[in-house]
Amino acid sequence: MFAAMLLLFSCTKEGDTIYLPDPNEEKASTVPLVTVIYDANALGDRSYNDLIYEGIERTALELGLRTMQQSPRSYDEGLQYLEMLFRQMETARDSVHRLFIVAGTSYDEFIRNNNKRLEVNPYADLLYLETYVPLEGKGSTLFMPYYGAMYEAGRMDAMTEYPRVMLVGANRQTEAVVDALQGYQDGFEAGIRLLTERQNRRTRLGITWLDETGNGGFSIADTTALHLMWQWEDDYDLIVPVCGGAFNTFARMVSLVPFSLSGIDYFFDSYYSCYSVVKHVDRAMDNCIRQWLSGNIPKHQLLGLASGYTEVILRKPVIIWPPEGYEGNVVPTLTAEMRQVIHEEAVRKEEEHEKK
């Protein structure tokens, strides 16, 4: 008993008691920790946010890291999480390396007003996703431009026979969504300019925003999607939805209304899809985490079409308008040579767009 008591405490010459740690008590982990804060109710979208989650967990498992992924129920709850984390980092006295990844642009004002608070902690780092504008002070930013990949998709669709496309965006406030729609529109219009007047008569490109004034539009009810598709069915044949988890709602409804559907963010392997515009954000997270661990994460980086982090993946051959003078019996399709020319054009256009 006396020996056990000695393990628990001892005394100084002045008689003060100093408690010693229990040798059987589990020590706090010093393994690096990656914490992610998403937009409200973002996880479970089977799209962009789920890819972030999967990429981080896969990398953490491989490298032996700890993770904590927070999907708040509301915007205010997300702010509370962020404030709690920043306050903890201001007062932390350990040497645990921590990376905070903010995956929701709705927190932009908070991040830009508070990121300098992390400068007191040399072991805390911040990565803020999907913003063109670097942070002043501590923290890195990442933007994965969709402009080039969407330009490529629009350019290909313009070559099909009588393309009639409804382009759907979540909202006008999310930079990445606006960027994507602009890329598709520019590519489509570039392709249409090459058509003859006879070919051009039946082409059509419509644009719809699911949330006209706010930051929403990333989830919609089945009935809403079905109502919109009934409105469009007489004028359009293809839906290109850049709206996160709302894409899956259109995917569920497409068997009820005669539409083709382009996959967005992940490969959509469906009879109704000809191609998918994919954003490999899971690979981007793996890359950024490895950069962080090595101490070489850039202040700001763009990972788009030229780097292979975004791309257009074909599910089946693209049937195109017969070239002038074509007399073959086989239905003409987009050749590998044609596609390579379009891809190189899209890479150039994205580079020009980024310079602007």
Strand, coil or helix: what is 186? helix
Place of tokens 């195109």: 320
Query: What secondary structure does DSSP assign to 222-278, as a single string?
Result: HHHHHHHHHHHTTT-SEEEEE-TTHHHHHHHHTTTTT-EE-EEES----TT-SEEEE
Report pLDDT for 201: 63
Place of tokens 């040579």: 337
DSSP assignment letter at 23: T
Gyration radius (Cα) of the chain, Å: 26
Tokens in use for 97? 């390396």
Report pLDDT for 51: 95
**Spans of the chain below 70 pLDDT:** 1-28, 196-201, 323-329
- Say if CB 265 and CB 47 are below 8 A apart: yes
Place of tokens 């020590």: 27
pTM of the model: 0.87
- For residue 165, give the H/E element and its range: strand 164-171
Report pLDDT for 319: 85
Task: Report the C-alpha gap between 275 and 311 in whole angstroms.
Answer: 10
Report pLDDT for 195: 74
- For residue 206, give the H/E element and its range: strand 204-211
Task: Report the C-alpha gap between 309 and 229 in whole angstroms.
Answer: 31
- Say if CB 188 and CB 168 are below 8 A apart: no
Task: Report the C-alpha gap between 268 and 282 in whole angstroms.
Answer: 16
